Structure 1
Amino acid sequence: MHFIESGAGTPLVLLHAFPVDARMWDPVRGRLDDQLRVITPDQRGLGESALDGSSARGLAEPGANRRAAEQPSIARAAADILALLDQLELPRVVLGGCSMGGYVAMALLRAAPQRVAGLLLVDTKAVADNDEQRANRLKVADRAEHEGTKGWLAESSLPNLLGRTTHEQRPEVVSSVREMIDAQPADGVAWAQRAMAGRPDSTATLRSYDGPALVVVGEEDALTPPENARELADALHGGELVTLPGVGHLSSVEAPDAFADAVRSWIARIA
């Protein structure tokens, strides 16, 4: 699994959204790593991580991508992160995830709650997909495998991925996110969509967690709007909620200063 780390102090693992990669955390890295050890992996099949779980796409074994793609699951993605924590000899971390990264964080919490010292959920939700959402994910997976991802995936994702204010006032952010989406491998996109389509409801997992938790949501998030974030915070015993104005689904990219301020303040209180 490919990852980037910087800084020192409390380890903070940040899991990226779909359909981007760990670069979505770059705008906040320099705002956090003077206080924290920031670790940002590319999840299986996306960014620079190979679909078979090896460190980089170019190192995948022959036929491994096909075998890995046969068993997509969020639980497997969470197991990748646990293996990374073992590799880095980190018994406990503050674990954060945005959107799909949040699904993986909740799966890791379900599998190994003792490894989670604090939980950061960003623009995500605990409930499973309904039938229509699941069918749409499978259609995207099939199209990616048959057509690749260049162009159409960004065009279909960007309208809801970024907030209205970003589309109107931050063209450089729109361009940067478009480039990230266009760079994602088709097999990784398909794997991730099928994994998300099959994920379970994680509400009970959140209710069983008694550690500190922060929920961050963009006020303009059309995919997982503020009412979803309130449900997450209410399900968590120690849940706090921060809503960022003028921000859509990718808070760390759209408003890095506000996002970093919220995270730094929270971690300073729980450290």
Structure 2
Amino acid sequence: MTSQIVLLPGLLCDDAVWADQRGALGACFVADYGTRDSLGAMADYVLESAEGDRLLVAGHSMGGRVALEVFRRAPERVAGLALLDTGYTARAAGEAGENECAQRLRLLEIARTKGMRAMGKEWAPGMVNADRHDSEVYEAVLDMIERSTPDQFAAQIRALLDRPDATALLRDIECPTMIVCGRDDQWSPLARHEEMHARIRGSKLRVIERSGHMCTMERPDDVTEVLVEWARWATGSGSAR
């Protein structure tokens, strides 16, 4: 049986979000969601496109939710999961959920009227640590956002607003699972990852210090070390500490 590492980017991210990890992990399949507008459709595309019989699936942010949907559909194909700076619950009911919808649609309106980079400047400051707002990393995040289109943004917003709840799914995960979070992530806080760690039997939790939401770009060497450890664990060539 052949195995393949699958890397799933988050909202408005592309292969640049994994650039520093790909060299260490070897040949990987990096997803491009196009204008697919549901997490399920994204997961179906991954399963159709990835070539390995057994998949080591790593997802960052929205990509972590896609990874869970891949597992929901084909648990027998998933040899390992890595969930980075992500979540697992559905959109909240009531006022909280309406507020989330309104905030996302406000950003979409900026993207349509002023352009993707202008929207990124509104959105991205909370995605990296404040001390990196004048850094090359921050500019790389803005560049990545600018490479997407408002139509892609709209599709991914629909996918996130309609996201399924994966709470019950977590207890079914038995493959080697690494949960990773930036210590200072404001979008997907550490407490949420501690909950996932508690719900997934045998999972490992790794906290990336001095990092916000974009841990793969903010602290690339630290994240690469964790993912190499995970890949060895999932393939039986080593064990997680």
Aligned to 1:18: 11
Q: Does 1:219 align with 2:195?
A: no
SS in 2 for 1:199: coil
Q: Does 1:78 align with 2:40?
A: no
Query: Is the contact made by 1:137 and 1:194 (CA closer than 8 Å) also made in structure 2?
Result: no
- Write the distance in 1 (CA, Å) between the matches of 2:137 and 2:214: 10
- Write the distance in 1 (CA, Å) between the matches of 2:46 and 2:79: 15
Q: Does 1:158 align with 2:124?
A: yes
String of CA shifts for 1:168-220, please: whole Å, max 9, x gaps: 6xx01111111111121111111001111001111111111111100000011
- C-alpha RMSD of matched pairs (Å): 1.8
Q: TM-score, normalised by structure 2?
A: 0.88
Q: Does 1:108 align with 2:70?
A: yes
Amino acid at match of 2:159: A
SS in 2 for 1:23: helix
- Write the distance in 1 (CA, Å) between the matches of 2:164 and 2:105: 16
Aligned residues: 229
Q: 1:39 to 1:159 in 2, by over 3 A?
A: same
Amino acid at match of 1:152: A
1:253 to 217, 220, 232: 217
Aligned to 2:136: 172
C-alpha deviation, 1:148, in angstroms: 6.0
- Write the distance in 1 (CA, Å) between the matches of 2:218 and 2:169: 29
Q: Does 1:231 align with 2:192?
A: no
- Write the distance in 2 (CA, Å) between the matches of 1:39 and 1:148: 33
Query: Is the contact made by 2:20 and 2:224 (CA closer than 8 Å) also made in structure 1?
Result: no
Q: Does 1:30 align with 2:20?
A: no
> Residues 129-144 of structure 1 correspond to what in structure 2 (within 5 A)?
129-130=91-92, 131=97, 132-144=99-111
C-alpha deviation, 1:22, in angstroms: 1.8
Amino acid at match of 2:128: L
- Write the distance in 2 (CA, Å) between the matches of 1:105 and 1:269: 18
Structure 2 gap segments, 5+ residues each:
236-241
Q: TM-score, normalised by structure 1?
A: 0.79
Aligned to 1:41: 31
SS in 2 for 1:151: helix
C-alpha deviation, 1:270, in angstroms: 3.1
Q: Does 1:200 align with 2:164?
A: yes
Q: 1:258 to 1:112 in 2, by over 3 A?
A: same
Aligned to 1:120: 82
String of CA shifts for 1:43-97, please: whole Å, max 9, x gaps: 223xxxxx6xxxxxxxxxxxxxxxxxxxx21111111111102xx2x22111010
Percentage of identical aligned residues: 30
